[in-house]
Amino acid sequence: MNDVRDQYEAFPYPARDPKDEAKRLIKGSPSLPVEMDHCLWNGQRDWSQTLRVLVAGGGTGDGLVQLAQLLHAAGKPYQITYLDLSSASRKIAEARIKMRGLPNVQFETGSLLNAAAFGPFDYIDCCGVLHHLPDPEAGLAALHNALTPGGGLGFMVYAPYGRSGVYPLQAAFNRLYGHLPPKSQLKHAKATFAKLPAAHPLNRNPNLGDHKQSEAGFYDLLVHSQDRAFTVRAWADALTATGWKLASFAQPGRYDLAQFADVPADMDALTQMATAEKLRGTIKTHVGYARRKGDPPPAELNMMARIPHLNGADVQKMAQAVAAKNLPKLRVGAEEIDVTIPPKAAGLLAAVDGKTTVNDVIAAAKQTPQEGLRLWQKLEAALMPWGLLHYSGFLR
């Protein structure tokens, strides 16, 4: 792990300036509280109870800052432990938390293999870390040992097909320059990269852009000394082998085989997702949530009693676009996805405020229960696969 630690001491990743906290909050999956509740606890977590969180391999703090800020702003009790090998990355994460004045965050320098020593935890964020371990399964096992019954893991790991062009370059740059200090490796790798043909798979890959954003991004993508990408099946196998089970991907629609072909009746769910991953060809990361394999699934809540949220959407603008039959294509990475919602559902969208049940949304839209539920199910089928609709009592 020394090479990996040296990299992040020299190039903390992602590149962040704590002063920017005054003007923006970086948000994304995993570790959005509403999304966590939806995927792990069927929207029924009791948010009056303190959420004990481990941010395992927290880097410069994107997931940490997002989760602490959203919990703090909503007035929900929490205790967060940040853990990372890199003191340089930790320094930036600490400064970002200080800039925002966020309480109840403890910082530790060390390996996530020792996670259980800091726990137990109700939720673990591990984003962009496990694929850089010599033994990712050892990391998963260590996190499993740090989790309470009924808790959950939010993960992001690299996927192979959307990262075409990356791994031959990593191998070449490490062969040529791996003996040098990190800053010298970067200098030589950038000079060599500038000479690559325009037809190189990396130059023709629209899914990747980190190498264009910062020195840390270039190094992390193309010069990393320890980097493994997981197919869906390989990731599912790693989870199973270490006592986990997949709860949900953040955007399950990306793994829906029915978008491409008729699904064979005898094809199991994992094979369907693995086949869809091959057909889609653009997935560069797997983002989602996992539970402990031995935990019973959360109880289902009646549809009419669920509290819907629209993730990252301007509700009124979306409702107007639906009513006008002018809903733009959804941008998912480098793809554009058609989303179809009946114009009659515009009133339902307009009534979603994150605090109102589906039953009350239907009443506010002046729909009969039967017609309102029919329209709501169409709306759900259009938005939920892409992580745009979640159910949670977080804001209540």
Could you tell me if residue 139 is inside a domain? Answer: yes
Measured between alpha carbons, how far is 384 from 248 in angstroms, rounded to an integer? 12
Q: How many CA atoms lie within 13 A of 342 on its CB side?
A: 15
- Is a pLDDT exceeding 80 seen at residue 7? yes
For β-strands 330-332 and 335-337, DSSP reports them as antiparallel
Q: Please enumerate in sequence order all residues whose Cβ is within 8 A of that of 104, keeping only pairs 6 or more positions apart, or say none.
A: 68, 78, 79, 80
- Describe the crossing of helices 215-222 and 182-193 by its angle, rounded to 10 degrees: 80
User: Could you give the CA distance from residue 78 to residue 48 in angstroms, rounded to a whole number?
Assistant: 10
Pair (150, 187) in one structural domain: no
In a domain, 203, yes or no: yes
pLDDT tens-place string over residues 157-196? 999 999 999 999 999 999 999 999 999 999 999 999 999 9
Residues 193 and 248 in one domain: no
Kindly report, residue by residue over 88-119, the tens digit of the pLDDT. 999 999 999 999 999 999 999 999 999 999 99
**Confidence category of residue 299, pLDDT binned at 50, 70, 90:** confident
Do 323 and 365 reside in the same domain of the chain? yes
Domain tally, the chain: 3
Residue 147 domain flag: yes
* Tokens linked to 204: 């023709």
247 shares its domain with 349 = no
Which residue range forms the structural domain that includes residue 263? 2-158+230-292
Domain boundary among 255, 272, 292: 292
Q: CATH number of the domain at 58, please.
A: 3.40.50.150
| Within a domain: 19 | yes
CB 57 within 8 A of CB 84: yes
Assess whether 90 and 135 both reside in one domain. Answer: yes
Residues 363 and 248 both lie in one domain: no
Check residue 224 and report its DSSP letter: -
Residue 146, domain member (yes or no):
yes
CA pair distance 286, 379, nearest whole angstrom: 25
389 backbone dihedrals φ, ψ, rounded to 5°? -125, 125
Helix axes 2-10, 182-193, angle to 10 degrees: 80
Confidence of residue 290 (pLDDT cuts 50, 70, 90): very high
Whole-number pLDDT of residue 332: 84
Domain membership of residue 298 (yes or no) is: no
**What is the pLDDT of the chain when averaged over all its residues?**
96
| Residue 184: both structure tokens together | 């010298």
pLDDT at 31 over 60: yes
Domain boundary among the residues 292, 315, 330 is at 292
Confidence of residue 374 (pLDDT cuts 50, 70, 90): very high
The residues with which 82 forms a beta bridge, in sequence order, are 55, 107
Residues 180 and 148 in one domain: no
Give the per-residue pLDDT at 36: 98
* Euclidean distance between CA atoms 54 and 36, whole angstroms: 14
pLDDT digits (tens, 9 = 90+) for 331-365: 888 888 899 999 999 999 999 999 999 999 999 99
Query: Is 297 within a domain?
Result: no
pLDDT band at 1 (very low <50, low <70, confident <90, very high): low
